[in-house]
Amino acid sequence: MTTAAGTDSWAIPPLFARLVDDTSLLQPRATAPGVDAVVARYLSSRDGRYGGLVGQLVCPVSRLSAVVTELARSVPARPVDVALVVDTGLGAVPKALSTVFSRSSLLTPRTVETSAPPDVDAVWLERVSEFVPEDVMAVVEPRRPQAGDVPGTTAWLEAVRRVAEHGCAPKLRCGGPRAADVPAAGDIERFVEVVAGTGRSFTVLGLRDIVRPVDGPPRHGVLNVLVAVSRALGGENVAEALESTDGTALAAEIEGLSEEAVKGVRGILSHCGVDLEPVPAAQLAGLGLLA
């Protein structure tokens, strides 16, 4: 793959450009790092050698004031792309956006993200859209049912389709504090195929690995999801990509993607919320995917 800046060895290949969002502030407060540590790490990563890999700082609305205070103290070289996560009700969104827009030297709003009821419909989605400006993407996470709930899974996928067709970006939760937060590979496969069929983009939350680990509880990897999207667009075996633990093979498949294929993948998968420290440049470089 060519890089985003020609032959610059520090450039990030387009497939990974601004892919990785920092979701540290979504962790439970009892175990999460402080806002000062998160902001310092984010700015250091964004302005460092592999800064082109870094996407948004994901910020719950309830913690926005603390983030603004810390950014004002830190004086970033350029505004931080922020994803606002609604955790205090949709009614808090206008004030949060007003705060962000009033501090344009510190923050640029990119997405507003919220969970949705299982029976999400056009009326509910239109209400969300009313709170989100046209130049900010609304990201909606329909609640996924418990494993084994076949009717619930069918309803969930229909909700995902409605979200995408309404013009919002569906969110797929791939990890979290509970084992139930990790979906089965089959659920991810169906989610990806539904969204790819609409031609809309989606985001992923809760990835902890670059490649699906061999041992331990099932977890999903960034490369697995990228290859899964590529295969869904090409009508190939998606399940095999999601279940692979062979990082070398996944990396080789990624390196073989054409420029058009890369654009197609990133047109569907816009951001990955990754619970890794630091930004996973070392792992990608170890697989030959970064210089």
User: How many Å apart are CA 164 and CA 267, to the nearest integer?
Assistant: 13
Minimal CA–CA distance to 104: which of 129, 68, 63, 137? 68
User: How many Å apart are CA 143 and CA 259, to the nearest integer?
Assistant: 34
Query: Does this model's pTM top 0.75?
Result: yes
**End-to-end Cα distance, the chain:** 12
User: How many Å apart are CA 6 and CA 149, to the nearest integer?
Assistant: 48
Domains and CATH numbers, the chain: 14-286 (3.20.20.70)
State mean pLDDT over 228-241. Answer: 96
The pLDDT of residue 178: 80
Provide the strand spans (E) within 29-161.
54-60, 80-85, 107-116, 137-142
State mean pLDDT over 110-120. Answer: 92
State phi, psi for 28 to the nearest 5 degrees. -55, 135
Minimal CA–CA distance to 78: which of 59, 51, 96, 114? 51
Here the tokens at position 236 are 């190939």
Q: What is the mean pLDDT of the chain?
A: 91
Contacts of residue 104, Cβ cutoff 8 Å, sequence gap at least 6: 79
Tens-digit pLDDT profile for residues 139-154: 999 999 988 899 999 9
Tens-digit pLDDT profile for residues 180-206: 889 999 999 999 999 999 999 999 999
Tens-digit pLDDT profile for residues 80-90: 999 999 999 99
State mean pLDDT over 93-107. Answer: 96
Least trusted range by pLDDT, from 60-69, 258-267, 273-282: 273-282
The percentage of residues in the chain with a pLDDT greater than 70, rounded to a whole number, is 95
Cα–Cα distances in angstroms (integers) from residue 258 to residues 152, 222, 235, 283, in the given order: 37, 19, 16, 22
State mean pLDDT over 205-212. Answer: 91
pLDDT at 177 over 80: no
Q: Does the N-terminal peptide bond of residue 278 adopt cis geometry, omega within 30 degrees of 0?
A: yes
Band the pLDDT of 217: cuts 50, 70, 90: confident
The pLDDT of residue 280: 82
The pLDDT of residue 28: 83
Is 211 in contact with 245 (CB distance < 8 Å)? yes
pLDDT at 269 over 60: yes
The pLDDT of residue 237: 95
DSSP assignment letter at 104: T
Tens-digit pLDDT profile for residues 152-164: 999 999 999 999 9
Tens-digit pLDDT profile for residues 17-37: 999 999 999 988 788 889 999
The pLDDT of residue 216: 84
The pLDDT of residue 279: 67
